[in-house]
């Protein structure tokens, strides 16, 4: 049987025409499936939130960041400058940004006696006047924190970078957490306090390899989808030790870990608000911590 095809006025056997038609149909169906899949993904993406932790530093690209989705999957991480950070945030449909830096310089609220009387245990006269209230509370629980100076030029460079970021976010329409129905929110976190509270004791030094492993393992155990740090030990061989070739690429650097715990705190703030609290005074900045009630004091872990 012969079927005429109006393509170059040629004649093809029916079997070949049928095969060509089937291939054409399969291609159209596959294309439709791809289109539907992309569309579904796009809708899903815009319905979800991102939880972005940012750790300001004094480096050339001062903002180390990591973005987690609703399922604690890292979407993106890296380091960039202020314009790059703002560009990334502006392209998000909705997000909570957790910044590892004070909101602003010390407002000298600890000179106010009514605020001092609210601190338990009570404060000695003349003490702690150079601290913010949130910093005093952490120090009372034996969590060390650098006091924020009252004048911006006196602040460390990384703090000044943080102040710049907060100001730009406010200009972009970001609201302080918690603001109901606000698609863009920011909050302050303190990574050392977050790790200390979740561990129940002070973590190991963050610059050390064991401190990095400890922090990443904590995040991994809390379902943040980072590489399993225990794989580090599986990759070690006698040869690698002798040649100083350690698989450090499996472990995040300290600033990335600080950004990761900040992003996790932002995720908790939305998905499990009963597990977080804000400490301090709203006029000078509050720190979000991953607990409703701190232990009386946190000690170093003794082996």
Would you state the pLDDT for residue 182?
94
Say if strands 285-289 and 277-281 run parallel, antiparallel, or are unpaired. Answer: antiparallel
Provide the pLDDT confidence category of residue 303 given band limits of 50, 70 and 90.
low
126 has pLDDT over 70:
yes
Report d(CA 253, CA 59) in Å as an integer. 14
**pLDDT tens per residue, range 33-91:** 333 333 333 333 335 789 999 999 999 999 999 999 999 999 999 999 999 999 999 99
Would you state the pLDDT for residue 222?
97
Dmax over CA atoms of the chain, in Å, equals 106
Would you state the pLDDT for residue 20?
54
**pLDDT tens per residue, range 3-43:** 444 444 444 454 555 555 555 554 443 443 333 333 333 33
Would you state the pLDDT for residue 15?
53
**pLDDT tens per residue, range 209-218:** 999 999 999 9
Provide the pLDDT confidence category of residue 237 given band limits of 50, 70 and 90.
confident
Provide the pLDDT confidence category of residue 243 given band limits of 50, 70 and 90.
confident
The residue ranges of every structural domain in the chain are 49-289
Would you state the pLDDT for residue 29?
38
CA nearest to 219, candidates 48, 53, 44: 53
Rounded mean pLDDT of the chain?
86
Report d(CA 50, CA 63) in Å as an integer. 17
Lowest mean pLDDT among 38-47, 71-80, 154-163, 175-184: 38-47
Would you state the pLDDT for residue 46?
38
Q: With pLDDT > 90 as the criterion, what percentage of the chain qualifies?
A: 68
Q: What is the DSSP string of 41-107?
A: HHHHHHHS-EEEEEEE-SSSS-EEEEEE-TTS-EEEEEEE-HHHHHHHHHT-SSEEEEESS-SSS--
Query: Within 13 Å of residue 245, how many CA atoms lie on the same side as its CB?
Result: 7
Mean pLDDT of 266-271: 97
Asked if residues 216 and 254 have their Cβ atoms less than 8 Å apart, the reply is no
Would you state the pLDDT for residue 38?
32
Would you state the pLDDT for residue 35?
34
Asked if residues 131 and 139 have their Cβ atoms less than 8 Å apart, the reply is yes
**pLDDT tens per residue, range 106-117:** 999 999 888 888
Mean pLDDT of 190-201: 98
**pLDDT tens per residue, range 249-263:** 789 999 999 999 999
Say if strands 63-68 and 95-99 run parallel, antiparallel, or are unpaired. Answer: unpaired
Instruction: Tell me, yes or no, if the pTM score tops 0.85.
Output: no
């Amino acid at each position: 049987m012969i079927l005429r095809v109006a393509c170059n006025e040629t004649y093809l056997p029916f079997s070949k025409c049928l095969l060509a038609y089937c291939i054409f149909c399969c291609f159209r169906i596959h294309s439709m499936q791809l289109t539907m899949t992309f569309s579904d993904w796009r809708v899903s993406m815009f319905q979800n939130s991102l939880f972005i932790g940012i750790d300001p530093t004094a480096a050339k690209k001062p903002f180390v960041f990591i973005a987690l989705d609703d399922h604690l999957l890292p979407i993106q991480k890296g380091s960039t400058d202020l314009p790059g950070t703002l560009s990334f945030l502006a392209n998000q449909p909705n997000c909570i940004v957790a910044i590892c830096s004070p909101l602003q310089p010390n407002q000298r609220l600890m000179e106010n006696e009514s605020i001092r009387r609210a601190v338990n245990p009570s404060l000695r006269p003349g003490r702690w006047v150079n601290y913010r209230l949130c910093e005093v509370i952490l120090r009372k629980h034996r969590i060390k924190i650098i006091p924020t100076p009252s004048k911006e030029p006196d602040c460390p460079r990384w703090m000044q970078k943080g102040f710049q970021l907060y100001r730009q976010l406010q200009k972009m329409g970001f609201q302080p957490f918690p603001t109901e129905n606000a698609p863009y929110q920011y909050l302050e976190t303190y990574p050392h306090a977050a790790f200390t509270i979740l561990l129940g004791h002070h973590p190991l030094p963050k610059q050390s390899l064991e401190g990095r492993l400890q922090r990443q393992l904590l995040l991994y155990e809390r379902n943040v989808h980072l590489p399993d740090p225990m794989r580090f030990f599986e990759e070690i061989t006698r040869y690698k030790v002798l040649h100083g070739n350690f698989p450090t690429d499996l472990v995040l650097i300290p600033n990335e870990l600080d950004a990761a715990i900040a992003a996790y705190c932002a995720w908790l703030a939305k998905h499990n608000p009963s597990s977080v609290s804000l400490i301090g005074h709203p006029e000078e900045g509050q720190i979000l911590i991953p607990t409703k009630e701190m232990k009386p004091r946190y000690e170093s872990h003794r082996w």
